[in-house]
Amino acid sequence: MADKMKDVVVIGGGVVGTSILRKLSYYDLDIALVEKQPDVCEGSSKANSGIVHTGFDAPPNTVEAEALKRSRELWPQLVEDLKIPFIPCGAVMIATSEEEKEIIEKKYIPNAEANGVEVSWISREEILEMNPAVTDKVIGGLLIEGESICDPFTATRSHAELAALNGAEIYLGAGVVNIEKCSEGLKLILEDGKEIMTRYAVNAAGLYSDQIARLIGDESFTITPRKGQFLLTEERVEISQVILPVPTPKSKGTLVSPVAFGGFLLGPTAEDQEDKTDFSTTEEGLEKVLAGCEKLVPGSREYESIRQFAGLRAVCSTGDYVIRPSEADKRLVHAAGIRSTGLSASPGIAELVAEQLQSVGLELIEKEDALYETPNLFDDSEEDQTGEIVCLCRSITRGEIENALKSPLPPTTIDGIKRRTGATLGDCQGNCCIPKILEIMEEHGVSSDRPLKGLQKSYLTVGRGNN
Ligand SMILES: Cc1cc2nc3c(=O)[nH]c(=O)nc-3n(C[C@H](O)[C@H](O)[C@H](O)COP(=O)(O)OP(=O)(O)OC[C@H]3O[C@@H](n4cnc5c(N)ncnc54)[C@H](O)[C@@H]3O)c2cc1C
């Protein structure tokens, strides 16, 4: 770990932390990111609906609405610059009764207008033409043309990779366990006892951002987890847009959506819980998903699911994003309480955080040689065109896996390979290709007696045999 004083260290490598790191990497600063897990995108950022929301339903005049508004402007260029898989498919909120139509007219249309988001009421025929699988009980719906879907894994990683190319340091497996306030800066103490001195730190620790705040005596907000369970299917569902129900006060409801990297997603639930480590799926939760989706897209119940998973939203006691310097020590700037829109709002949050850092004294001078666009790092290798297919379900080649292992932020886990290449995402979920992938990782110097699936201690094997 470098001894030199950093200008800024971002704590947390989710989509929010990496987006902030990318933004700061455009300036003449010595910056780093510390992430507890062995890879970026291992928190809420890996288990969400993958929708780039417009903010049509965000509470107006909130920090969240402001971050989403800025993000609407920033996404189109970012998608180009960072090569993020992105489908501008639009979304439609389905009304199946006059009561639901009235909620849309009285609540969602005025809310969208207050936030400057274009929406329009469309007919039952228009909905069914674009989405034949939608229930024939539909009487019309709200078209939110600006809603899109993206690959959240690439979104998160591509921020980190561009920042790394711009000179940012990224420390993985580096959880912050303590922060000491010193006259010259903040001393971050990591799990393994290493220390990093920094003039400023950004708290982007997601579900754990309240615990990071507590390390400097800040008790101004609390984060509680709200679980969302999902089912993923590879069946052909005849929808071309994100199909939304009319939301409840607690959640946007279970939706049916195309997935940017293939297949269709059903979910999520909204279940408040205490435990920040409980990502389990349950029969009851998945039944709720199926029952909700069946109302929107009849037949959902019959889809064969290739995967079930859950993510946890960071629900904040303040009811809004917390993007400001800590009152306990202004050198720690919070990017916390980023609930269910953080993927969409991450570019705007990065701008807001940069402004907050400026407001407490950080000078932002643009670098002359900063990269704003991820360069093409690899030519299509020989193997990509002619060679060995490693993942049969998704036709992923050896060359694609090798390129991932040579990238600016190389993976050290199977999930890291999955999120960079798509290998193991298909029907067999890695049953056929994991041994081959481990072999290739070993050839590239990523070897371990106990390879990890993804998270800390998620060992794939119990150890290596003698032959
Ligand atoms: C079910 C569900 C559906 C969602 N759907 C959408 C959607 O469609 N569109 C959308 O825009 N948003 C959606 N979201 C919300 C979105 O996923 C989150 O808002 C976003 O991922 C938050 O990003 P983050 O970087 O703040 O948190 P995280 O991704 O959780 O990242 C925080 C990181 O901090 C690390 N960390 C924690 N403690 C420490 C420490 N002490 N030291 C170092 N590192 C630490 C964690 O390991 C983690 O990697 C959804 C969320 C869920 C759960």
Residue of 41, 48, 212, 333 best suited for mutating to test ligand 1, as the one with most atoms within 8 Å of CB: 48
Q: Is residue 331's pLDDT more than 80? A: yes
Q: Could you identify the residue written with the tokens 């940017």?
A: 260
Per the structure block, which two tokens stand in for 289?
Answer: 């998903």
Report the pLDDT value the prediction gives residue 456, as an integer from 0 to 100.
Answer: 83
Report the pLDDT value the prediction gives residue 467, as an integer from 0 to 100.
Answer: 46
Catalytic annotation, pick one of 53, 159, 334, 444: 53
Give the tens place of pLDDT for each residue, 148-196.
Answer: 999 999 999 999 999 999 999 999 999 999 999 999 999 999 999 999 9
Phi/psi of residue 138, nearest 5 degrees: -65, 135
The answer to whether 278 touches 227, Cβ cutoff 8 Å, is yes
Torsion over CA: 395, 399, 403, 405 (sign): positive
Give the tens place of pLDDT for each residue, 189-248.
Answer: 999 999 999 999 999 999 999 999 999 999 999 999 999 999 999 999 999 999 999 987
Return the ligand 1 atom nearest residue 345 CA: 11
**Of residues 162 and 380, more confidently modeled:** 162
Report the pLDDT value the prediction gives residue 77, as an integer from 0 to 100.
Answer: 98
Lowest pLDDT segment from 16-25, 129-138, 423-432: 423-432
**Is any ligand 1 atom within 6 A of the Cβ of residue 206?**
yes
**Is any ligand 1 atom within 6 A of the Cβ of residue 53?**
yes
Give the tens place of pLDDT for each residue, 404-416.
Answer: 999 999 998 999 9
What average pLDDT does range 29-34 have in this prediction? Answer: 98
Instruction: Band the pLDDT of 386: cuts 50, 70, 90.
Output: low
The answer to whether 372 touches 165, Cβ cutoff 8 Å, is no
Exposure of 102 in the CB half-sphere (CA atoms within 13 A): 3
**Of residues 459 and 83, more confidently modeled:** 83
Q: Is residue 38's pLDDT more than 90? A: yes
Q: Is residue 429's pLDDT more than 50? A: yes
- The interaxial angle of helices 342-359 and 15-24, nearest 10 deg, is 40
Residue of 45, 148, 190 best suited for mutating to test ligand 1, as the one with most atoms within 8 Å of CB: 45
Instruction: Band the pLDDT of 379: cuts 50, 70, 90.
Output: low
Return the ligand 1 atom nearest residue 18 CA: 25
Q: Is residue 1's pLDDT more than 70? A: no
The vertex-438 CA angle with 432 and 444, nearest 5°, equals: 140
CA–CA dist 28, 367 (Å, integer): 5
Torsion over CA: 332, 338, 343, 346 (sign): negative
Report the pLDDT value the prediction gives residue 411, as an integer from 0 to 100.
Answer: 92
Lowest pLDDT segment from 198-202, 318-322, 354-358, 417-421: 417-421
What dotted CATH number matches 91-145+224-315?
A: 3.30.9.10
Give the SS3 label for residue 418: helix
Give the tens place of pLDDT for each residue, 116-146.
Answer: 999 999 999 999 999 999 999 999 999 999 9
Q: Name the helix (H) or strand (E) containing 307.
A: strand 305-316
Q: How far is CA 456 from the centre of its chain?
A: 19
Give the SS3 label for residue 8: strand
Give the tens place of pLDDT for each residue, 41-81.
Answer: 999 999 999 999 999 999 999 999 999 999 999 999 999 99
C-alpha pair distances (Å), 27 with each of 7, 88, 189, 365: 11, 31, 26, 5
User: If you ran DSSP here, which 8-state letter would residue 238 be given?
Assistant: -
Per the structure block, which two tokens stand in for 257?
Answer: 């959506």
Length of the chain: 467
Percentage of residues in the chain with pLDDT exceeding 70? 96
CA–CA dist 111, 247 (Å, integer): 13
- Topology of domain 1-85+150-222+317-375 in CATH is FAD/NAD(P)-binding domain (3.50.50)
Mean pLDDT of the chain: 93
CB count within 10 Å of CB 369 equals: 6
Q: Annotated catalytic, 53?
A: yes
- Going by C-alpha positions, the residue among 277, 257, 274, 273 that lies closest to residue 265 is 257
Give the SS3 label for residue 47: coil
**Is any ligand 1 atom within 6 A of the Cβ of residue 281?**
no
Q: How far is CA 122 from the centre of its chain?
A: 30
Residue of 210, 343, 413 best suited for mutating to test ligand 1, as the one with most atoms within 8 Å of CB: 343
**Is any ligand 1 atom within 6 A of the Cβ of residue 341?**
yes
**Is any ligand 1 atom within 6 A of the Cβ of residue 51?**
yes
**Is any ligand 1 atom within 6 A of the Cβ of residue 170?**
no
Domain boundaries, the chain: 1-85+150-222+317-375, 91-145+224-315, 379-467
